Structure 1
Amino acid sequence: MTNHHARRPQARRTDAAEIATLLPAPAEWDVPGERHLHHKERLMRQIDRDHSRTSARTDSGGRASRRLLRPAVMAPVAALAVGAAILTSVTITGGGPSTAGPSRHPAAGESAGTGSALLVQVSRAALENDEVAVRDDQFTYRRATVREADLTSGKAVVGPLRTVESWASQKQGPQRRLGVVRTDGETLPVNAELGDDGTPPGLGRPTYRWLATLPADPDELLAYLEAKTPKTAEVKGQGHDQAAFEQIGSIINQVVPPRTAAALYQAAARIPGVEEAPRAHDAIGRRGVGIAREDAASGTRTEWVFDKDGLTLLGTRSYLVKNTAYGKKGTLLSSTAELQHAVVDTPGQAPVSRRDS
């Protein structure tokens, strides 16, 4: 009897271990270190924004100095030049943040939505593009036609079409001067935020060399992007899957290494809710094959449109799919048409070839 009772604790541990193997692994919701860094970054950005509002200086002509902020988490500097990525990642509050837990993304070979097959084709086409030689002292160039809504009044006020050119610095290490933007006949510098020692290469400043270091495996890449993307409640109404979709969208409209571009499209194919958009078109009316995702939390829909033949990105479009404080269903938030991408030696320099993409 004594020996029998002496074995009972060990038996319980063995039984518990066996039962544990039958249970699913616990979901990983957060990485404490990443969360700490993220909250610190958000706090510093808020301090910078408050500081900039109270300490705006005027130039010699008495006009308030214009300052271009460092792009937000989901809007890298090249996307800032066009403005559309900022609008597609703007915090449009809908019925409040969702409290649902993180969704499980389909594994390789599974279908996340009706757009998965198309994105696989786009991925293969991107992989066939030639690698571009980009030096650290050069600039990636982008020319696009843009139409965007101004939300500062609390209502979406859609502006006219305009052409925007941007030159993004490829220097390594933190930089205070991120590039140059030219629009409406005016050329302006893109600087790091006030009080910032400089923006390093990363999602906030995706240099060509940094993009080449991203995981080539789409599952690993999506996991990385999601770890760097704010959770639902922190995006004020935008679902986390949508935030990841927008994050990818803010990268693909730049000069991207073929391997990275292919992985990004396959990562997007793994996001639930991604679907084909047969009527998608860009800012200048060019139609092609489309990929879209609709976010119920914010009431927005974002579309990517690709050329039917070469499957290159033609542009993007984002609009409301339900009535919100910003406007009625169907109100345009942003629309772009990608015209040219290149690599140049100096900011403000036009590429030798003016062929449209």
Structure 2
Amino acid sequence: MNTTEHQELARQLPAPAERDLPPDRHRHHKELLMRTIDGDRPRPRRRLVRPAFALPAAAAVVAGALAVTVLSGTQDRSPETQVAPAKPGTPRGAVVLLDRIAAVAMKTGTEPVRDDQYVYVRSLTTDTVHIKPVKAGGLKEREDWVPQDPYASHEAGVFREDGKFVPITSADKDPAGIDRPTYKWLASLPTDPDALHERIRKETRPVRGQDFDQTVFDTFGTLLSRGVMPSRTEAALYKAAAKIPGVVEMPDAVDAHGRHGVAIAREDRQLGERTEWIFNKETLKFLGERTYLTETGERGKAGTLVRANAILDRAVVDRPRQVP
């Protein structure tokens, strides 16, 4: 790879001043680009996915907000940096578990979200210190306020990290769609799982160097995390996710907050990573997500934690900087 190509790839990295990606997903795609620059992977040809918070969710969304709180910033604790990978289950087990999660989603009473409202999420996420070798750092607490329609909202989106508010400067650049899933757009999706699976695969743009089925898995996770949607749509998304090749269930997984649960997982053999969506074993409420290495190499030993996060609160609010 020549210098010009290095510079062009570097320009594709999100500008630090905008900081409109959550740390975990920013680092995920930055790692892909860095590996490409190092000659480990071919050059990606799609623009980076920019989820406001890349996590799936089966929990009810609560409307309304009143008080504003101050976050404590970086936490003085860290999740275990070495995962003891359990033997994965089977695709059939994933179908059964996702059907159960879909049944819970169907019972979730979600009110329609107005164009002038915001999706609020408070979460914990690890801070990656090194890429080669991988080292997951301490936890940071973060809040996101993502507008449904930046033109109808009072102002564009914003997030708060380390106690500081930062505008989401790209919020008004993307039309509603797979990269910015609004309530209206999600409500327009087919609710037949087969049709929905094909629709998402068709609209997911490949990341060269990443297993395409893993990119689809990540896209489903983004849709289930960023968007508030009708119960039927959410249930259909979980059932459609079961159709992604390589998806299995895991008997035990731990989120960034230390909570154990069952998981839906998929391994990207091209990158040597496994990503898990973690759910409470009894309520099937979404808890968080983690990714760790499945192969020993220059990035670290198998089982090394790459990133982890946890959802602490979700809601629909009327204004940015409001919390439930």
Give the TM-score normalised by the residue count of structure 1: 0.66
Match of 2:218 among 218, 228, 246: 246
Matched AA of 2:93: T
- CA, structure 1 residues 277+314, in 2 after alignment: closer, same or farther (shift >3 Å)? same
Aligned to 2:306, what secondary structure does the other structure show? strand
Q: Does 1:131 align with 2:110?
A: yes
- CA, structure 1 residues 112+158, in 2 after alignment: closer, same or farther (shift >3 Å)? closer
Q: Is the 2:93–2:249 contact (alpha carbons within 8 Å) kept by the matching residues of 1?
A: yes
**Long gaps (5+) in structure 1:** 1-45, 57-64, 70-79, 98-110, 352-357
User: C-alpha distance in 2, partners of 1:205/1:183?
Assistant: 21
Aligned to 2:168, what secondary structure does the other structure show? strand
Q: Deviations over 1:314-357 (max 9, x none)?
A: 11111111124332222212111111111111111111xxxxxx
Q: Does 1:297 align with 2:270?
A: yes
More helix per residue: 1
User: C-alpha distance in 2, partners of 1:334/1:276?
Assistant: 19
- CA, structure 1 residues 211+47, in 2 after alignment: closer, same or farther (shift >3 Å)? farther
User: C-alpha distance in 2, partners of 1:317/1:167?
Assistant: 23
Aligned residue in 1 for 2:319: 346
- CA, structure 1 residues 148+252, in 2 after alignment: closer, same or farther (shift >3 Å)? farther
**Long gaps (5+) in structure 2:** 1-6, 43-89
User: Which structure: larger Rg?
Assistant: 1
Q: CA deviation at 1:96?
A: 5.7
Identity of aligned residues (%): 39
Q: Does 1:318 align with 2:318?
A: no
More strand per residue: 2
Matched AA of 2:300: G
User: C-alpha distance in 1, partners of 2:92/2:212?
Assistant: 17
Matched AA of 2:11: D
Aligned residue in 2 for 1:50: 11
Q: CA deviation at 1:112?
A: 4.2
Matched AA of 2:192: D
> After the TM superposition, which residues 47-196 of structure 1 pair with which residues of structure 2 at under 5 Å, given as runs?
50=11, 66-69=17-20, 80-81=21-22, 83-87=23-27, 91=32, 112-150=91-129, 154-171=132-149, 178-192=156-170
Give the TM-score normalised by the residue count of structure 2: 0.73
Q: Does 1:336 align with 2:288?
A: no
Matched AA of 1:170: Q
Aligned to 1:343, what secondary structure does the other structure show? strand
Q: Is the 1:255–1:342 contact (alpha carbons within 8 Å) kept by the matching residues of 2?
A: no
Higher relative contact order (CA 8 A, sep 6+): 2
User: C-alpha distance in 2, partners of 1:207/1:49?
Assistant: 30
> After the TM superposition, which residues 262-277 of structure 1 pair with which residues of structure 2 at under 5 Å, given as runs?
262-277=235-250
Q: CA deviation at 1:171?
A: 0.8
Aligned residue in 2 for 1:278: 251
Matched AA of 1:169: P
User: C-alpha distance in 2, partners of 1:298/1:84?
Assistant: 16
Q: Is the 1:85–1:249 contact (alpha carbons within 8 Å) kept by the matching residues of 2?
A: no
User: C-alpha distance in 2, partners of 1:166/1:200?
Assistant: 19
Matched AA of 2:118: F
Matched AA of 1:240: F
Q: CA RMSD in A?
A: 3.0
Q: Is the 2:116–2:152 contact (alpha carbons within 8 Å) kept by the matching residues of 1?
A: no
Q: CA deviation at 1:172?
A: 6.4
User: C-alpha distance in 2, partners of 1:182/1:131?
Assistant: 25
Aligned residue in 2 for 1:72: none
Q: Is the 1:142–1:341 contact (alpha carbons within 8 Å) kept by the matching residues of 2?
A: yes
Aligned to 1:277, what secondary structure does the other structure show? strand
Aligned residue in 1 for 2:62: none
User: C-alpha distance in 2, partners of 1:51/1:318?
Assistant: 24
User: C-alpha distance in 1, partners of 2:27/2:136?
Assistant: 11
Q: CA deviation at 1:157?
A: 3.2
User: C-alpha distance in 1, partners of 2:194/2:273?
Assistant: 26
User: C-alpha distance in 2, partners of 1:129/1:211?
Assistant: 16
User: C-alpha distance in 2, partners of 1:319/1:288?
Assistant: 16
Q: CA deviation at 1:229?
A: 2.1
Aligned to 2:191, what secondary structure does the other structure show? coil
Q: Does 1:225 align with 2:200?
A: yes
